C-alpha cells in the first residue's frame, strides 16, 4: 500500500461514508450562552479578527489538515487555498510524508502557497516520521517547499494500530518533537486527529518546547471509523469507534496550562460551536471533514458561503453575550452548564 493510495482512500471514505462518532459527542452541547439583553455596544462594533502566527485572520478559523500527495489532492488543495486566501483563514495541509518518499506529487502541496500567498499555511508530518534520529534538513525542505508558517506533527496512535499497514512505533516521538522544535525556524504544532489531548500529554509537549497544541478531540470525525472502512479489523474498529476525549473536555483540561496557544478542533460544526470553544479558552478553531464535503460538492464559492455563515454566527453570539472582540470572548464568563443536560 503506497502512502499516496492510502491518502486517496481516506479522502474517498471521508466523502462517501458515515465516519462520525456514534454515541460520543464533543461535549459543547452541555454548555449554553448566558444571554445578555444589555450588550451596551452596537452590532457593527463587534470584530472577529485576530492574529495567528504573526498574520491576520478575519476570524479565528483554520481549515484543518487533510490532503496532498496523490493526483486528486491538487484540485482539493487548490480550492481550500483559494478560500484561505479570500477569507483570511488559516490552512493546514495534509501529511507531507509522501513528499519525503519522492517528488511525484510535490505540486499537490506547493499549489497551496502558490494560490494563497498571504495565508497562514501549516505543514504536516506524522509522529512516526519524527522518531529516532531526526534529520532536520528533510523537514526544513518540507516546510520550505510551501513556505509554511508552522509545522504540525500529528499524533495518531489509535489510527496507527488500527490501520492495516500501521506498526505502532511510538517510542521516541516526544524526543523527536523536542529535537525538531529546537532545530526548525518555525513553530511546531502538536495535534491529535480526533482522540483529544490529555493534560498530561499537553504538559509533556510543552516541556518539549511545543507552544501550540491542536487538541483535535472526539465528537467529530472518528478515525477508527475511517480505518473500519479501509478494512481494519472490523471488530476492533467497532470497539474503538468512539474512543477519545471529547473536544470540550480536552479543551478544558489543556487550557489549565498557561502560555500555550490552543487550537480547538474535532467536531467544530458552526460559528456557535466556535464561540463556545473560544469562550473555553481556545485561540483558534479548526474543522476538517465538514469543509472537505463542501469543497467537493460546491467548490470555492460554496465554502466561502459556509465560512461567511460561521463568521456571522460567531459575531452574533459575541454581540448577544456583550463581547466586542475575540479577546473579550475569552475573558468574560459567557457560558453556563445547561440544565437541559444531566452530566
Ligand X SMILES: Cc1cc2nc3c(=O)[nH]c(=O)nc-3n(C[C@H](O)[C@H](O)[C@H](O)COP(=O)(O)O)c2cc1C
User: Which spans of this chain sit near ligand X (rule: CB under 6 A)?
Assistant: 10-11, 14, 64-66, 94-95, 124, 152, 154, 191, 193-194, 216, 220-221, 265-268, 287-290, 292
CB 336 within 8 A of CB 31: yes
Give 46 or 285: the residue with its C-beta nearer to ligand X: 285
Can you tell me whether residue 287 is helix, strand or coil?
Answer: strand
Which CB atom, from 68 or from 322, has the smaller least distance to ligand X?
68
Secondary structure E strands in the chain:
31-33, 50-52, 55-57, 61-63, 90-92, 121-126, 150-154, 188-191, 212-214, 261-265, 284-287, 335-337
- Minimum separation from the CB atom of position 67 to ligand X (A): 6
Residue showing the smallest CB distance to ligand X in the complex = 220
State in angstroms the smallest separation of the CB of 25 from ligand X. Answer: 12
DSSP letters spanning 207-271: HTT--EEE---BTSB-HHHHHHHTT--HHHHHHTTT-S-BHHHHHHHHTTSSS-EEEEESS--SH
- Identity of the residue, 126 or 322, whose beta carbon is nearer to ligand X in the bound complex: 126
Rounded to a whole number of angstroms, the minimum distance from the CB of residue 269 to ligand X is 8
Q: How far is the CB of 24 from ligand X (least distance, A)?
A: 12
Nearer to ligand X, 221 or 321 (CB): 221
Least Å from the CB of residue 99 to ligand X: 12
Q: Which is nearer to ligand X, 39 or 157 (CB)?
A: 157
Phi then psi for residue 266, to 5 deg, are 105, 90
Cell 458515515 found at: 18
Amino acid at each position: 500500500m503506497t502512502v499516496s493510495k492510502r491518502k486517496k482512500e481516506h479522502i474517498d471514505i471521508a466523502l462517501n461514508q458515515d465516519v462520525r462518532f456514534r454515541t460520543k459527542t464533543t461535549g459543547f452541547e452541555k454548555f449554553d450562552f448566558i444571554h445578555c439583553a444589555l450588550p451596551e455596544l452596537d452590532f457593527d462594533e463587534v470584530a472577529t479578527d485576530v492574529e495567528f502566527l504573526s498574520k491576520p485572520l478575519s476570524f479565528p478559523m483554520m481549515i484543518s489538515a487533510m490532503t496532498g500527495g496523490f493526483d486528486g489532492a491538487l484540485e482539493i488543495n487548490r480550492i481550500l487555498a483559494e478560500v484561505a486566501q479570500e477569507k483570511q483563514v488559516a490552512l493546514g495541509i495534509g501529511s507531507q510524508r509522501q513528499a519525503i518518499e519522492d517528488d511525484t506529487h510535490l505540486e499537490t502541496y506547493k499549489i497551496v502557497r502558490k494560490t494563497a500567498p498571504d495565508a497562514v499555511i501549516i505543514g504536516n508530518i506524522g509522529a512516526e516520521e519524527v522518531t529516532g534520529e531526526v534529520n532536520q534538513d528533510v523537514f526544513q525542505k518540507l516546510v520550505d517547499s510551501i513556505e509554511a508558517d508552522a509545522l504540525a506533527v500529528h499524533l495518531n496512535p489509535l489510527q496507527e494500530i488500527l490501520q492495516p499497514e500501521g506498526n505502532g512505533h511510538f517510542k521516541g516521538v516526544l524526543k523527536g518533537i523536542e529535537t525538531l522544535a529546537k532545530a526548525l525556524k518555525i513553530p511546531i504544532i502538536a495535534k491529535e486527529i480526533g482522540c483529544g489531548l490529555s493534560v498530561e500529554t499537553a504538559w509533556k509537549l510543552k516541556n518539549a518546547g511545543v507552544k501550540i497544541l491542536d487538541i483535535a478531540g472526539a465528537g467529530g470525525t472518528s478515525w477508527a471509523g475511517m480505518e473500519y472502512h479501509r478494512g481494519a479489523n472490523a471488530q476492533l474498529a467497532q470497539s474503538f469507534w468512539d474512543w477519545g476525549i471529547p473536544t470540550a473536555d480536552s479543551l478544558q483540561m489543556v487550557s489549565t496550562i498557561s502560555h500555550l496557544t490552543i487550537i480547538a478542533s474535532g467536531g467544530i460544526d458552526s460559528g456557535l460551536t466556535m464561540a463556545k470553544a473560544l469562550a473555553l479558552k481556545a485561540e483558534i478553531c479548526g474543522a476538517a471533514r465538514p469543509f472537505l464535503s463542501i469543497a467537493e460538492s460546491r467548490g470555492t464559492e460554496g465554502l466561502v458561503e459556509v465560512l461567511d455563515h460561521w463568521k456571522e454566527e460567531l459575531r452574533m453570539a459575541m454581540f448577544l453575550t456583550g463581547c466586542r472582540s475575540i479577546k473579550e470572548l475569552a475573558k468574560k464568563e459567557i457560558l453556563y452548564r445547561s440544565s437541559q443536560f444531566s452530566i
